[in-house]
Amino acid sequence: MIPLNKLAKLAPRHRMRKSALVLGELERGLLGGAESSALELPLLGYALGLAKLLLGDKDSPEAVLGAASGLMGAYANAGEAREDQAARSGLLRAVDTLRHALIAATGQAPADWDLIDPRTGQPDQGSRLVRPGIRAFLEDLRSPFNIGSVFRTADAFGLEELILSPDCADPRHPRAQRSAMGAVELLSWRRASLESLAGELPLFALELGGESIETFVFPKRGAVILGSEELGISSEARQLCTYGIVSIPMSGAKASFNVSVAFGILMYAWTRSLDR
């Protein structure tokens, strides 16, 4: 990390931008399984030094001053109980609050790549519970963010495989990787045409105008088709969905979900039906 005395010599805006980046590295270290002793020095000790530097800077915005004071207060309140889970959580949240205050003070809106995975490091792929025969086909999803979010949800619910149409965004795109939080490396996936799915498994789609998710009888093995963010499923996909169409009842005027949110709702209902 950049020494605090070097940070102090930077121009105010540059110092805040650099401080936000440094706090991001520090927060990843604290979240990455650091032992309780590592919360003292150098990681947390550095954060405290940075907070003092910002508090002593007349150019620091009020929000940054408040967040820096909050970090100092969280450390003081933790006292000798810094190994306690609640104290650790409070200190980490104070570090995160200061980092985002610095991001906002430099005129940036937080993006998905600014957010830190609460479970850093490489998960154990062998611990993943896989539900055989439970798959999803993504038809022309264009947003890398949505692709990554679907991967993360698919891992959470134990899908055996994700199948991507040729025109889907690349799961290895940086924004997809960021929203997937490591799930792209955990989950089996491939690219294939829609036509290649015919006869593999029972096919159904998540789409407007179908049977309510509350009464739909999910298959024990099958694949759900998710349509594009703009156009939904194609007519070709609809013809292949011999198992049916399932819809989520909505009350809003917009009457739509983000595709990754809708997928999460669907997978919760599907896996619950499998576990009964």
Confidence (pLDDT) at 31: 75
How wide is the angle at C-alpha 154 spanned by C-alphas 208 and 220, nearest 5°? 70
Mapped onto helix, strand or coil, the DSSP state of residue 259 is: helix
Per-residue tokens: 22: 């440094």
Confidence (pLDDT) at 84: 67
35, pLDDT greater than 60: no
What would the pLDDT profile of 159-178 be if each residue is shown by its tens digit?
A: 999 999 999 999 999 889 88
Q: What is the mean pLDDT of residues 49-61?
A: 89
Between residues 54 and 43, the one the model is more confident about? 54
What percentage of the chain exceeds 90 in pLDDT?
Answer: 48
Q: Return all residues near 131 (Cβ < 8 A) that are at least 6 apart.
A: 157, 158, 159, 160, 271, 274
What percentage of the chain exceeds 70 in pLDDT?
Answer: 88
Mapped onto helix, strand or coil, the DSSP state of residue 218 is: coil
Distance CA 248, CA 254 (A): 13
| Mean pLDDT lowest among 23-32, 88-97, 190-199, 261-270 | 23-32
Between residues 6 and 126, the one the model is more confident about? 6
Distance CA 82, CA 12 (A): 32
pLDDT bucket at 38, cuts 50 / 70 / 90? very low
Q: What is the mean pLDDT of residues 190-215?
A: 91
Q: What is the mean pLDDT of residues 68-72?
A: 92
Confidence (pLDDT) at 36: 46
- Residue 223's beta-bridge partner residues? 135, 203
166 neighbors 191 (Cβ within 8 angstroms): yes
pTM of the model: 0.75
Distance CA 241, CA 200 (A): 12
Range with top average pLDDT, 32-41, 91-100, 162-171, 198-207: 162-171
Q: What is the mean pLDDT of residues 136-153?
A: 94
Q: What is the mean pLDDT of residues 79-104?
A: 80
Confidence (pLDDT) at 7: 87
Amino acid found at 98: L
68, pLDDT greater than 50: yes
Distance CA 93, CA 90 (A): 5
End-to-end CA, the chain: 52
